[in-house]
């Protein structure tokens, strides 16, 4: 466990700075029992009717309670891996474990109470309000005949606050801008109140303001809750700034993984993304300045 994380977990548990080493160790042990283990082993994931699998025999472990970013060029299997982890595409081989249980052994609603996935593109129906849409995130928590309880409503309110869409509460979802809609969808996923939250390209197609709004929500989740976040990002700079852990994918294989500083290097950008780039070490983590595309001849060397 990294130093950074144990500091954060202490804060989360509200333990005093002056605590002895022993109590600190205890809290860490206690924490370890409540955090969510989430990992995939030897995953082979593909789509029916296509030639080979997209992901071929990869294993990944997601550090609990942290933000993990999947990066990689188009077609490298980021979204496929995410869907495989969420059991939306049943892996041909391998297992995904959540808290020691295989995800495919859980009932659909049971899984949805522990793991949320927000897909890349969502089409909101016309004629429902933001609050109504967010309330539907409580679906896995409601029984067949039950309606929302006071507790459900409190979770919905929190999700709306956290996603920063309280001022849009009564607006018709159809009338919102693309960025606002995305925040509303994130609020719905938050209302699902899961231990693990998977976001598929949550910032793609958004203007800079809304990209930052989305990433701020992710940051808040990391700092103020025990949610494990895995997200696909196209913007390497965002991954470097907001993620604790970066996994770079190339052609369906994990090319590198680790802290942003160790993963995002000009060598990796050349090998994985095929670009020549300068990586600057800044206070906001490594930042990438793309210079030129590399062509195939250069890449193969």
The residue ranges that bind other proteins (CB under 8 A) are 48-49, 86, 88, 107-113, 116-119, 122-129, 131-133, 136-137, 139-140, 142, 144-145, 147, 157, 166, 169-170, 172, 188-189, 192
For other proteins, give the closer residue by CB, 113 or 234.
113
Q: 181, 163, 166, 178: which is closest to 219 by C-alpha?
A: 163
Q: Which is nearer to other proteins, 62 or 131 (CB)?
A: 131
Q: What is the largest CA-CA distance in the chain?
A: 62
Is 195:226 a contact under the CB 8 Å cutoff? Answer: yes
Q: Give the nearer residue to other proteins in terms of CB position, either 137 or 260.
A: 137
Min CB(109)–other proteins separation in Å: 4
Instruction: Give 286-293's long-range contacts (Cβ < 8 A, gap of 24+).
Output: 286/240, 286/260, 286/261, 287/237, 287/240, 287/241, 288/236, 288/237, 288/240, 288/264
**Residue 279 bridge partners (DSSP):** 288
Q: Which is nearer to other proteins, 110 or 261 (CB)?
A: 110
Q: How far is the CB of 86 from other proteins (least distance, A)?
A: 7
Q: How far is the CB of 152 from other proteins (least distance, A)?
A: 12
In the complex, minimum distance from the CB of residue 145 to other proteins, in angstroms, rounded to a whole number: 7
Select 47 or 284, whichever has its Cβ closest to other proteins: 47
**Shortest approach of other proteins to residue 26 CB, angstroms?**
33
Buried b (16+ CB within 10 A) or exposed e, 145-159: eeeeeeebeebbeeb
Inter-residue contact 139 to 188 (CB < 8 Å): no
């Amino acid at each position: 466990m990294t130093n950074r994380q144990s500091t954060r977990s202490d804060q989360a548990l509200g333990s005093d700075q002056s605590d002895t080493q022993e109590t600190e160790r205890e809290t860490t042990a206690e924490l370890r029992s409540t955090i969510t283990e989430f990992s995939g082993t030897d995953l082979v994931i593909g789509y029916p009717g296509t030639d080979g699998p997209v992901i071929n025999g990869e294993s990944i472990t997601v550090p609990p309670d942290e933000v993990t970013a999947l990066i990689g060029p188009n077609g490298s299997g980021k979204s496929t891996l995410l869907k495989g982890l969420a059991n939306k595409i049943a892996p041909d081989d391998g297992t995904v474990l959540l808290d020691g249980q295989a995800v495919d052994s859980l009932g659909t609603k049971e899984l949805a109470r522990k793991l949320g996935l927000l897909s890349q593109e969502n089409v909101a129906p016309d004629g429902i309000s933001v609050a109504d849409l967010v309330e539907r995130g409580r679906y896995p928590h409601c029984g067949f005949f039950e309606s929302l309880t006071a507790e459900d409503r409190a979770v919905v309110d929190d999700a709306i606050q956290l996603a920063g869409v309280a001022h849009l509460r009564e607006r018709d979802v159809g009338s919102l801008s693309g960025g606002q809609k995305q925040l509303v969808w994130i609020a719905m996923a938050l209302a699902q109140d899961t231990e693990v939250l998977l976001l598929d390209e949550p910032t793609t197609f958004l203007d800079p303001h809304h990209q930052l709004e989305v990433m701020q929500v992710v940051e808040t989740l990391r700092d103020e809750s025990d949610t494990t976040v895995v997200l696909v990002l196209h913007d390497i700079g965002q991954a470097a700034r907001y993620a604790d852990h970066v996994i770079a994918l190339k052609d369906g294989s994990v090319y590198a993984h680790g802290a942003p500083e160790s993963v995002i290097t000009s060598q990796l950008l050349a090998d994985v993304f095929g670009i020549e780039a300068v990586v600057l070490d800044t206070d906001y983590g490594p930042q990438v300045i793309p210079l030129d595309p590399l062509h195939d001849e250069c890449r193969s060397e």
